[in-house]
Structure 1
């Protein structure tokens, strides 16, 4: 016989009834029962009960009584096959909905459930709830919105309280409030309990309830805290967000942010915040997160000079951060593939900008364009993406833009072999930019470690074909950095592109075979790059990214800085250039004149002993233009360099004397 669990009508709650809508402690089942078969409420994703998707009652674990239900899946694959649905009887879009369950998660395993927004599963996910490694994470579209702690191999209680009328959600762990959030999908229809890959967990004491909420006349809610990332180390500048969730106008309030025993307070006056309107409050600079789970609270008070408003439950916003400690000196690179033709690429641009604003100098973002006027063929080909927007983090596997932050956080925990820095000098007349990239070794390493340099530009605009941005998000209800309010396509006159890759030097793979023996811990190694900047590039918007590549082609470490900052750093001649192997300098006196050259210059060498002499001419990017071996010379020699057919620019003149060499720059007008 099926167990009967009555879903009370909503009208009973409007009338003020207090009976719980649903409660199942599994004590009325026998061991081995499939709950979908025995219950008139529980079902499965497909609707087929009593088989692989269904959950069975077990007696080896229980939070109360003797029984619970058990979920498990292999460590690899897509999870399942169990997939149990608890329908809530209708779609809830208003009122206060409360869901509670007890869960026990095995050590080094996971537990998981989600809320579905529609009565038919699979249309819209409301939230995901994952318990893993002692942390419960509530996420929406893979973005963490609340968190709390639990102890593996022990029972704990999870409560999700959703005030759907005010869009104010709360996470409780064992009765303690650990997170407050607003949800993009503010409706609930069912719970889906599913063992993701590597899951082993038990569920007991499942209940849900609903009650009516009347919009208060006088109510200010603390609803969000932005500007705080998931990495320990950077200095964050948090912004508290409040909303008038009542009907009366709000004219003043006090607000406190409390973290790690310290409180930052603001008094806001002379405002006219109407019903439904939001207000942002900058809560200071320099908030640095400690590692692990830490609680940050925002509280509003003294609203319109009153002791309390009409609804105090939403006066406090709680954020439980789980900051990941960064490896010392590490900076990770996200190379994003994008294009003006790509309808979803505005989403990637929004992600890149958000991460740049959030993580500052620790984050290095490069937008590599494909098949549009900003494309750099050698960079686009080297990145070798097959979907857009997508990219690679430190030259790892291709990932979608929704995985940029997760992949970046993982790489930020990997200790680098070297600390990277760079310096530059720039000639405003010739537009010659010279950059030296340094690697200060933390460990002694051998192998094909290499140097690279990327140049990016912000504020890029253009006119003509290919400059308008195709925009899937136009007119949509999902916030997408303002693109939802722009047309499709966005006209070129309205578009400004940031983080645009302008060059990758010497190529995508980096400068090869420079230091062929080893890089020694404690020593600093450098490499010089030079490029004549095209006239169309705005030097005030340029950024330089020095990179140190590992033998496995991953980026070991990087350093990004704007051009002014690079010029302020020390530049020096490392003796290493593209196409040139570092050799000691000769003792011979060597001159190059006239310089600049107008058609013919000379290399003058004063030799004290006979040596073999050769001269190579290379372009600024390392291409060999001309070469001549003069054989053995023993006296002062004057060697011609014919530049009549050379394009104007900077050239490297490499003079080899025996086992030594000297490299001089030659300007051709």
Structure 2
């Protein structure tokens, strides 16, 4: 990601967050549908033939990592603001993982319209924290999530053969979980170059001052390219989420024309239904990341 010597003034940042946003355009997302009422009858345990219990024991503790999903577009002149705020936050704490979910012709993600509707996003930029809250673009608001102790952790293995990535996700539990959970695996590509509309070209306090409008050759970080699982999560059977267990599942994905050395696997575990992330992990394609 790019580094900049200039910083936003706090007041400009706050006012910008409140009043500066781009419409999502087109057939803008509607309100979230009313949630289904809980089924009063007991449900059979959910099944997933791709998930199994490993013979290894889970570690006793895990680092908590959080996910920021930045809903953005190259056409959105206010969107560089969130890109910079995420860059600054990640520089302060490496346990923050940020990705860009694009709604544009350059890097548009297949399921972005569905996600905009599900998370009730009507203006860009909007960053969503752990799929549970809209981020206010300040580091302080991330601390409660970073300090929360997680009952599970994630390890990732990956190998690269030509353009095919194969791998394994492992999820370890240090406590019994009484709620249904799912897992999501993404392929992201870093350092994607595309021109970016910039409404801060004349704002002297902005790191994008005099960078042009559009900014030619803007470098977009961790662009969401593919979801390897269902975008809202694949099932982790409730019977498996027990203290000391490690569950695992294989995955594979094609890189197509993406640059291998810039590609990463991002995986996270979340509550059933696609909301409230419990923990997140990232690994460079062709590398492994153990539990930490």
Q: Displacement of 1:407 after TM fit?
A: 3.5
Gaps of 5+ in 2: 1-8, 14-60
Counterparts of 1:587-666 in structure 2, within 5 Å, are: none
Give the 3-state SS of the residue equivalent to 2:93 in structure 1.
helix
Distance 2:165 2:287 in 1: 14
Please, which of 388, 396, 404 is the counterpart of residue 132 of structure 2? 396
Distance 1:468 1:379 in 2: 20
Output aligned runs, 1:117-132, within 5 Å.
Answer: none
Contact 1:445 1:518 in 2 (8 A): no
Tell me which of 204, 208, 213 is aligned to 1:477: 204
Deviation at 1:454, TM superposition (A): 1.3
Aligned partner of 1:530 among 248, 252, 257: 252
In 2, Cα distance between the equivalents of 1:559 and 1:433?
17
Which structure is higher in helix share?
A: 2
After superposition, give the CA deviation of every residue in 1:475-528 in whole Å (9 maximum; x if it has no partner): 321132xx112111123xx2221121111221221112x424241111111122
Aligned mates of 1:489, 1:498 — CA distance in 2: 17
Provide the C-alpha distance between the structure 2 equivalents of 1:510 and 1:390, rounded to a whole number of angstroms. 21
Instruction: Name the structure 2 match of 1:45.
Output: none
Corresponding position of 1:339: 73
Cα displacement (A) at 1:432: 1.7
**TM alignment of 1:405-416, pairs within 5 A:** 405-416=139-150
The alpha-carbon deviation at position 427 of structure 1 amounts to 1.1
Shift of 1:350: 0.8
For the pair 1:497 / 2:220, whether they are aligned, the reply is: yes
1:69-109 CA deviation, whole Å, 9 max, x = no partner?
Answer: xxxxxxxxxxxxxxxxxxxxxxxxxxxxxxxxxxxxxxxxx
Any conservation in 2 of the 1:333–1:408 contact (CA below 8 Å)?
no
Please, which of 479, 486, 502 is the counterpart of residue 211 of structure 2?
A: 486
Change (3 A) 1:450 1:412: same
Q: What is the aligned partner in structure 1 of residue 189 from structure 2? A: 457
The 3-state SS of whatever aligns with 2:157 is strand
3-state DSSP of counterpart to 2:287: helix
Q: Distance in 1 between matches of 2:186 and 2:140?
A: 23
More strand by share: 1
Structure 1 residues 441 and 406 mapped into 2: Cα distance closer, same or farther (>3 Å)? same
What's 2:260 paired with? 539
The answer as to whether partners of 1:379 and 1:507 remain within 8 angstroms in 2 is no
Q: Which moved more, 1:336-345 or 1:437-446?
A: 437-446
Q: Is the 8 A contact 1:379 1:504 kept in 2?
A: no
Between the aligned partners of 2:90 and 2:134, the Cα distance in structure 1 is 20
Rounded Cα–Cα distance in structure 1 between residues aligned with 2:238 and 2:204: 56
Give the secondary structure class of the aligned counterpart of 1:411.
helix
Shift of 1:448: 2.2
Q: For residues 406 and 368 of structure 1, what CA distance do their matches in structure 2 show?
A: 23
Give the superposition deviation at 1:369: 0.7
Shift of 1:366: 0.7
CA-based RMSD: 2.5
Residue correspondences, number: 233
Q: Aligned match of 1:517 in 213, 227, 239?
A: 239
Q: Tell me by how many angstroms 1:569 deviates.
A: 6.1
Deviation at 1:410, TM superposition (A): 1.9
- Give the 3-state SS of the residue equivalent to 2:171 in structure 1: strand
Partners of 2:268 and 2:12 lie apart in 1 by: 30
Answer whether contact 2:116 2:122 (CA < 8 A) is retained: no
Greater relative contact order: 1 or 2 (C-alpha under 8 angstroms, separation 6 or more)? 2
Deviations along 1:439-488, one digit per CA (max 9) or x if unpaired, are 11021113321111112111112xxxxx42110110321132xx112111
Q: Distance in 2 between matches of 1:379 and 1:435?
A: 25
SS of equivalent to 2:115: helix
Instruction: Say if 1:379 and 1:415 are closer, same or farther in 2 by CA, change over 3 A.
Output: farther
Equivalent residues in 2 for 1:182-201, closer than 5 Å = none
Change (3 A) 1:424 1:569: farther
CA contact (8 A) 1:548 1:556 kept: yes
User: Which structure 1 residue ranges, 5 or more long, are not aligned?
Assistant: 1-138, 144-326, 462-466, 571-669
What is the alpha-carbon distance in structure 2 between the residues aligned to residue 383 and residue 455 of structure 1?
A: 19
Whole-angstrom distance in 1 between the partners of 2:159 and 2:271: 27
Task: State the match for 1:378 in structure 2.
Answer: 111
Distance 2:268 2:227 in 1: 10
Question: Structure 2 CA distance, aligned partners of 1:407 and 1:395?
Answer: 14
The TM-score normalised by the length of structure 1 is 0.33
CA distance in 2, matches of 1:408, 1:517: 32
